[in-house]
């Protein structure tokens, strides 16, 4: 059977703008709690949030922002982020998400490449002085106005004016298929690319992600994942507002103890995270003492999940309906997801099956032919969720999306007979040792079963004889004796083929990460090559 499949189509796609959908939710659930910000203790019902969104939207129009203008958002997670997201959507301005970890070089690039007219920014976060960085680059960009959150200028744009309604000021028409969001994908080579997404792209993806975990207006979602990324603003915010559920912001940045405390105090029914976040929560001091009994569901995404971590989510965090989701920014983001009633095998060994209204297939990376189920190849997806393109970059858009509308992800996957898929690596992460194709994911899963291993990442490093050799970076559990290459070899002998046993082992305290919690394997390769003098 060929490795091609489509998702359910019984629920219709939402053919409306984000603003129209939000107002429909407000009409239905106006007095329900919509947004909670733990850091400041502020709370909004849907009616109150809608009023705050309209006030900012009116302020933006009066500041000269119109449909199609780009508004940059550069801040960690906060209520103002969410309010700005919906205010720009209501007037048709294109929100440009800017990574809070960016420094001046990256900031200037994004502001220029997207043609940002207004920048909304925090004043500072962690070690970043946003004011100083903006001052350094703003004159060389198209930015005409900068609004710093919490300043008099910001407040002035949020004044309630009972004499005018937003509907009276929005004189232009808005269509669901028009661009509303630009998200920069962290390219490992060259500058990041601006994935351009429409109302229809992200509204539907947020809706179907939470529909798949049976969300309703009674749900309360703890969102420790970043808003500047699809995980936070689409799967989190839009996932909640399309169902009348409550968005709970535990902190500006991820903190395991604060996240656990928030779940307990706010009686959250769901929580999102990348695997490293769940590992950190489960390893937090006093983890067993938190009352997590209100949790029912949640989503783990961003990178493959170790089986033991998933089991702990179900057994110790009460997340009986926890779901694995897979996707990428360019696909709004989710293409596959496990279902709430899937068995443990499907929820630990796969990334789920095709999302509603989405097609998926696995192709030979060289010939482009669809492979048989059970064979590895490149994961491709097609449907409403595929981006409009990379902002003002038709060449890279054509490289990613073929003439039949399939998005080529660069991920290597296998589709099982039941239509569920497993990621076996990135095309660029695959290690070729002496002609053998090795998928690091398989070795990571195996080494994770060692009782002293807390987390592990496997990479390929240069080797004169075989072309590449394997190196395992291992984080040990607290108090465990560090493993060396001999100990790993002993553990793997008889269980892994000899060529899959890592030749090198480095015990580390942490892995180099992107802000979204993805491991930067390219950085690990460089560091290993330097440390071991592999040249």
State residue 491 phi and psi, 5-degree precision.
-65, -35
| Count of residues in the chain | 535
Nearest 5°: phi and psi at 70?
Answer: -95, 130
**What pLDDT, on the 0 to 100 scale, is given for residue 348?**
85
User: So what's the pLDDT on residue 188?
Assistant: 42
Interval 78-113: pLDDT, tens? 999 999 999 999 999 999 999 898 889 889 999 999
Give the DSSP H or E segment for 312: helix 307-316
Structure-token pair, residue 303: 């990178």
At residue 515, the pLDDT reads: 64
Residue ranges matching CATH 3.40.50.980 in the chain: 44-174
Beta pairing class for 128-129 and 124-125: antiparallel
Residues of the chain with CATH 3.30.300.30: 429-531
Which backbone phi and psi does 444 adopt, to 5 degrees?
-60, -45
Return d(Cα 41, Cα 24) in angstroms, integer: 27
Query: What CATH number is given for 429-531 in this structure?
Result: 3.30.300.30
Residue 90's nearest CA partner among 150, 138, 24, 155 is 24
Cα–Cα distance list, 1 to 99, 355, 418, 419 (Å): 42, 20, 10, 10
H/E stretch holding 523 reads: helix 521-531
* SS3 state of residue 169: helix
What pLDDT score does 206 carry? 98
Domain 44-174 belongs in CATH node 3.40.50.980: yes
Give the per-residue pLDDT at 189: 45
Q: Which residues of 271-293 are buried (b: 16+ CB within 10 A; e: fewer)?
A: bbbbbbbbbbbbebeebeebebe
Give the global pTM.
0.86
Which regions in the chain score pLDDT beneath 70?
186-190, 304, 515-516
SS3 193: strand
Q: State how far the Cα of 135 lies from the Cα of 188, in Å rounded to an integer.
A: 28
Find all residues with CB under 8 Å of 513, minimum gap 6, and list them.
276, 519, 520
For residues 237 and 206, is the Cβ–Cβ distance under 8 A?
yes
Is residue 264 within 8 A of residue 290, CB to CB? The reply is yes
Q: In this structure, are residues 80 and 496 in contact, taking their beta carbons and an 8 Å threshold?
A: no
């Amino acid at each position: 059977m060929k490795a091609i499949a489509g998702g359910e189509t019984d629920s219709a796609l939402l053919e409306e703008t984000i603003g129209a959908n939000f107002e429909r939710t407000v009409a239905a659930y106006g007095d329900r709690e919509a947004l909670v910000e733990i850091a400041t203790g502020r709370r909004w019902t849907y009616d109150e949030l809608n009023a705050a969104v309209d006030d900012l939207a009116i302020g933006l129009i009066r500041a000269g922002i119109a449909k199609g203008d780009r508004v940059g958002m550069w801040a960690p997670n906060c209520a103002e982020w969410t309010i700005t997201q919906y205010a720009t959507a209501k007037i048709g301005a294109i929100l440009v998400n800017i990574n809070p970890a960016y420094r001046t070089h990256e900031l200037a690039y994004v502001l220029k490449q997207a043609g940002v007219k207004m920048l909304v920014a925090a004043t500072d976060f962690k070690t970043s002085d946003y004011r100083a960085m903006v001052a350094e680059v703003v004159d060389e960009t198209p930015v005409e106005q900068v609004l710093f959150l919490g300043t008099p200028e910001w407040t002035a744009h949020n004044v309630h004016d009972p004499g005018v309604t937003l509907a009276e000021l929005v004189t232009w028409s808005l269509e669901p298929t028009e661009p509303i969001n630009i998200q920069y994908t962290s390219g490992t080579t060259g500058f990041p690319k601006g994935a351009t997404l429409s109302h229809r792209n992200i509204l539907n993806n947020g809706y179907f992600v939470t529909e798949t975990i049976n969300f309703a207006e009674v749900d309360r979602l703890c969102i420790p994942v970043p808003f500047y990324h699809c995980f936070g603003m689409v799967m989190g915010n839009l996932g909640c507002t399309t169902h009348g559920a409550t968005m709970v912001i535990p902190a500006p940045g991820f903190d395991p103890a604060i996240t656990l405390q928030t779940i307990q105090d706010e009686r959250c029914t769901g929580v999102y995270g990348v695997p490293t976040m769940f590992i950190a929560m489960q390893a937090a001091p006093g983890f067993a003492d938190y009352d997590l009994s209100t949790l029912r569901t949640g989503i783990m995404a961003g990178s493959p999940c170790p089986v033991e971590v998933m089991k702990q989510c179900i057994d110790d965090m009460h997340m009986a309906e926890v779901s694995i989701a897979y996707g990428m920014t360019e696909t709004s983001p989710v293409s596959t997801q496990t279902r709430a009633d899937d068995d443990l095998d499907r929820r630990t060994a796969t990334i789920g099956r095709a999302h509603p209204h989405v097609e998926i297939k696995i192709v030979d990376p060289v010939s482009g032919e669809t492979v048989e189920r059970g064979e590895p190849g490149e994961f491709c997806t097609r449907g409403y969720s595929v981006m409009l393109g990379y902002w003002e970059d038709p060449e890279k858009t054509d490289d990613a999306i073929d003439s039949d509308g399939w998005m080529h992800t660069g991920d290597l996957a296998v589709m099982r007979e039941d239509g569920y898929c497993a990621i076996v690596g990135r095309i660029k992460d695959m290690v070729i040792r002496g002609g053998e194709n090795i998928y690091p994911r398989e070795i990571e899963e195996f080494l994770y079963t060692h009782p002293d291993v807390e987390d592990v990442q496997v990479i390929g490093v240069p080797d004169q004889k075989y072309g590449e050799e394997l190196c395992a970076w291992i984080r040990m559990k607290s108090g465990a004796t560090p493993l060396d290459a001999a100990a790993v070899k002993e553990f793997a002998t008889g269980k892994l083929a000899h060529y899959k046993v890592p030749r090198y082992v480095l015990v580390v305290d942490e892995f180099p990460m992107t802000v979204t919690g993805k491991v930067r394997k390219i950085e690990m390769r460089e560091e290993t090559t330097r440390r071991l003098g592999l040249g």
